[in-house]
Structure 1
Amino acid sequence: MKRKDVRRPLVCLCLMAFLTGLPVLAGASGGEGIYGRELDTLYDMIQGGRDPDAYGEDREDLVAVWEGIRELSPAQGLEQVKYQLLDCNGDGEPELLTGQDDRITNLFTIRDGRLHRVFSGLYRNAWYPLGKGRFLNQGSGGIGLAILGEYHLDGDGNLVCENCYFTNWDPVREKEEVYWNTLGIPDRALSEKQAMTPGQFQQLQANLMGKVEKLSWQSLARRGKGSVELSLTQVSEFGEPMLAVTPRERLEDVHLLTLQVAEVSDSGQVTWQVEKDEPLGNLEPGSRYNYPIHLEGTARATGLSYYDRKGYHRKILQISGKDGSLVVREEQGGDS
């Protein structure tokens, strides 16, 4: 069947204008197969409404995700659970993070070619990203015990404690005390007592929470749809953003489009003009392709056009101003 040329200078989309600046992006290209198996397990658990115990004992990674979506429908759960590939320690290889909102539910790395869980974050032991491979831990356990820790991931994929503060209730003095160490263990015998009041501890907690950074999450629901998975990546902390394209089947006549807003109507209809058209050829399944893109500014977007077994597709990529995640929209009427 002869394919007609559908890459026209002007592209009209009936959608509300969603034009935002680009926040810090993240991601990397390696480990897709190993991490993919973990993501497939999460998808299967949520889609099937299964209990984590169905996948064996000691699956804290699954429990950390499950406790946040157990009251939701499978469809809602898949939308709520997010993931991202991000090089957290600067070794050129990505780690896998799963989470909800700004909270990290799991951090994985790869050791000796195998998946290694660095930590899992439950509600009572929550983890948050601080940027540059650093993490904030907030926990509680028992009467009077609150934990506040700062950590980073070293080059070997080990979690290193920078500061660990915790409170302890002294029943004799009827007073809450604050201790500190760099071990990450709430043990008074291994810690130094601090001249810090409970109010100062709470202020420190608020200050650190104010430094939590947003991640460019990808919805797990998107992983189970379509012939291609699209995500934002960044090979290094300060590297240029890239588009990661992971085909699930052969994609033909692929083009990467840089789009410029030509007009926005009063109703919010956006007319895009193709500023640059880069042919990529055919992309094969089982590989991950990274391409430099530029999404900065308020009047640009990136498009990806291709043919799969169902026909022609043209997708528009933008950044969510709400949580920094990648928003992918299928253009309607691309063949007309």
Structure 2
Amino acid sequence: MSASTPTLFDSYRLGDLTLSNRIVMAPLTRNRAEAGFVPSPLAVDYYAQRASAGLIITEASQISQQGQGYQDTPGIYTEAQVAAWRKITDAVHAKGGHIVIQLWHVGRVSHTALQPDGAAPVAPSAIASGSKTFVNNAFTDTSTPRALELSEIPGIIADYRRAAANAIKAGFDGVEIHAANGYLIDQFLKDGANTRTDAYGGSIENRTRFLLEVTDAIVGEIGAARTGIRLSPVSPANGISDSHPQPLFNHVVEELEKRHLVYIHVVEGATGGPRDIAPDFSFAELRQRYTGTWMVNNGYDLDLASQAVADGKADLVAFGRPFIANPDLVERLRRNAPWNELDRDTLYGGGIKGYLDYPTLDSAA
């Protein structure tokens, strides 16, 4: 490669940050929060172990109790949660890393057992996801949601704004808006989940309204240079679907381009599954519509990631589960070394096992 060809291991300017490399740790739900949905002290070491990533995106964290969809996931809406996250951001920064928090409202992907006063989950429309959630240490069907009243939507947008403010108070370098994988914002976007007939349903412009209002609220609070967003245009995660995703997401990206977000993070294909699930969908069309930082995700290995960066198809590449089993993934990629095998039995819930005890190259030597 020529000196001008970017590589995965080059530094990268992201807003006001200088990342040490172009490798990103993707958000990964681990269900290890403590009482009050406060991040566990174990999470301090977990994230610090992975601080060699150019950027860490935390596990999705609910903006309110209503936004929770799985047991033992952390929040970012109480002072105790903010204080616990502060210990994590301090530990990552002490190791020279950068970290943003993913802001989450799951919408219909929840269970009455997790909702305030056992209420039904909320969604754009009263359409069940048909997916599973994790409650009482077991996977179970999600509860049927109720449709949000028009009068409730501003309150949820305000929750996003407060969560973003709390994130900065907790020492994060920014936030990622979770608009992917069949959760609330994605539910508003896609016509398989949104059958509203008011200003938030019907046309592409209307279905995009909630995403843009959330984005504008967060940007107004913390600035575009600290606000990223994650999209999954064709993923069927959590029972989500859309009849015409290309024009929908072309419009989404065109609108985000006007707002100069610090990055767009795109799940290519099915989340955690096949990349070629929608062969007629053009991710290149989306990329052409955005002049800012473009982050890609899903099934990347060293060769695929290196090529994407070299070809200009991506500025940053996010790796998910490989970072669980390989806290030193950056060094393993640099040396083209083997990866540890993932222990799937310890993904959700539990303690140190499968969380803090994966060996690094140096510790195994």
TM bucket (normalised to shorter chain) is under 0.3
TM-score if structure 2 supplies the norm length?
Answer: 0.25
Relative contact order, higher structure (CA 8 A, sep 6+)? 1
Q: Which has the higher helix share?
A: 2
TM-score if structure 1 supplies the norm length?
Answer: 0.27
Q: Which has the higher strand share?
A: 1
Of the two, which has the highest radius of gyration? Answer: 1
